[in-house]
Amino acid sequence: MINGTITKVLGFDPYYETDAAERNISKITGIVRYVVEYTNGATEELVTTLRPGENFGWSIKVMQAAQAWLNAGGVIPEWVQPTPEEIRAFMPTLTARQFRHGLLNTNTLPSEVDAIIAEIEHEFEREAARIDWEHANEFERLHPLVVAWGSRLGYTPEVVDDLWEYFRTI
């Protein structure tokens, strides 16, 4: 258990099943953002997920603080469907091995990636892409090289998303 006190609830991030009109925090699913002050005086912002029937130990204190916040006028926002770009930003990274073998499995040779890099107009960006291609340990879905690869081969972002999920299995 955390050896500290919740000094402030910063807000609540709903899940898709969150009922924003519910006033009993023990019936609400979502993430509470809050500040803890430890016994040594240090403070830290933390988050805890609350889910009905699954709150034990420290999360009981978080639930109590969140209920006090809600009772004092705190507002639980409506859940908003994330945009495709927001979803892409949180897609898991691929190891360099997964990405390179995935490309190979979709008939994209390393020389084609080299050609994509060579087409980058700005020298600094081109050299940064070359360094990443040759030395990166992992790749993010929205990395400029990944975006350029998909665009150059005529893939829609949705097709690249599907390929990304496939590459994760390699």
- Domain ranges for the chain: 4-71, 84-167
CB 35 within 8 Å of CB 44: yes
pLDDT single digits (tens) 45-103: 999 999 888 878 888 999 999 999 999 999 999 999 999 999 999 999 999 999 999 99
- E-only strand ranges, 15-165: 30-38, 43-50, 94-95, 138-139
Q: At how many degrees (to 10) do helices 144-152 and 110-118 cross?
A: 100
The confidence score (pLDDT) of residue 58 equals 87
State the average pLDDT over residues 107-136: 94
The confidence score (pLDDT) of residue 1 equals 65
**Tell me, what DSSP letter sits at residue 122?**
S
Q: Where would I find the H helices in 1-122?
A: 58-71, 84-89, 96-105, 110-118
The confidence score (pLDDT) of residue 29 equals 92
Would the pLDDT of 36 be above 90?
yes
Burial label for 167, CB within 10 Å (0-12, 13-18, 19+), is: buried
Q: 3: pLDDT confidence band, cut at 50, 70 and 90?
A: confident
